Amino acid sequence: MDTRLLKVFLAIAKQGGLVKAARSVHLTPSALSHGLRVLELEMGCRLFDRGGSGMTLNQAGEQLMAGVEGPIAAIDRATLSVKELSRWGHTRIRVGAAASLCQHFLPKVIAAMNKEIPKLQLVLENGNMPELTRQLRARQIDVAIGVEDSNEADLESRALFEDELLFTFAENHHWNSSRPLTKEEIRKQPLILSSREAPSAKRVLRYLEDCNISPLVAMEVRCLSAIKELVKLNLGVAVLAPWVADLELSLGQLKMRPLGGKVLRRHWVVAYLKTRKMGHVEEVFIHTCRNQSIALRKSRTELLSS
């Protein structure tokens, strides 16, 4: 079926008559009337009740509108998106990333990308890796940056960097010493997490459970900036990587120490669909991310040497 006929039908349905609909789509009323007749012939029934007050959808028309309005809108959006790509010279990239990366890492990546590709059109979405994986499969984003969680058969991933999660606390907290922490001290200390369901929080809880520690989860706060402010006020401790608190560490507002003898590492990757061929923009993006990650403080070693 010709989508142009469906757009004529939708214009008449929304405007309630041929004259108003013609103005909205920049056609003549006679052209719309002809298009509607062709559509009704194809459908084998009338779609409107004609009256002195205008044209109103009948039952068949209502059913057709319910079925085609969403797909036609999606076609229009896709068409506009392709035209935008052409206007920008095919340099768009849609990136999904963890909120911490959006705040503390990607701005420098984007700045470097703009020097490399001046007409870059970048769309940035944030979320955890399971959410971003769903967006990849729905083709809502081109690449996703997050913590590698599990191997997915339909996804390809490229390594970016590794970091270490460390206890994070206020400068005047009693943990700010070289004295080893006991399990009881850790168990009693209020812990501030982003969310129990967040992948990194699950790793932390699993790590502590393996150490026979059941922590007191005092708060679940989805905003990283808010977590750091709460920790600075000595309302609890958090478990963060050094690079997400680089400024606060440099100012002496926050301190860090290892969780224990065993290192809790995260592996950050760029993921994309195996069926999607990576273009020049995506390759430049990955290369830029790797270059920018070199300067990040990622572990206890870099923390102590800074």
User: What pLDDT shows up at residue 88?
Assistant: 46
Question: Along the 306 residues of the chain, how does pLDDT read in single tens digits?
Answer: 788 899 989 999 999 889 899 888 888 989 999 999 999 999 999 999 987 778 999 999 999 999 999 888 888 877 766 666 555 445 789 999 998 999 999 999 999 998 888 778 889 999 888 899 999 999 999 999 999 877 788 999 999 999 999 999 999 999 998 889 999 999 999 999 988 888 889 999 999 999 999 989 889 998 999 999 999 999 999 999 999 999 999 999 999 999 988 999 999 999 999 998 888 889 999 999 999 999 999 998 887 654
> What number of other Cβ atoms are within 10 A of residue 46's Cβ?
12
User: What pLDDT shows up at residue 246?
Assistant: 94
pTM: 0.69
CATH number of 3-88: 1.10.10.10
> What number of other Cβ atoms are within 10 A of residue 10's Cβ?
19
Q: Are 255 and 171 in contact (CB under 8 A)?
A: yes
- Cα angle 143-148-152, degrees, rounded to a multiple of 5: 75
**Dist CA 185 CA 163 (whole Å):** 25
Fold agreement (3-88, 94-161+267-296): no
From the centroid of its chain, how far is CA 230?
A: 25
CATH number of 94-161+267-296: 3.40.190.10
Superfamily grouping for domain 166-263? Periplasmic binding protein-like II (3.40.190.10)
Residue with tokens 């224990």: 260
Pairing of strands 155-164, 190-193: unpaired
Which tokens belong to 11?
A: 């214009």
The residue extents of the domains of the chain are 3-88, 94-161+267-296, 166-263
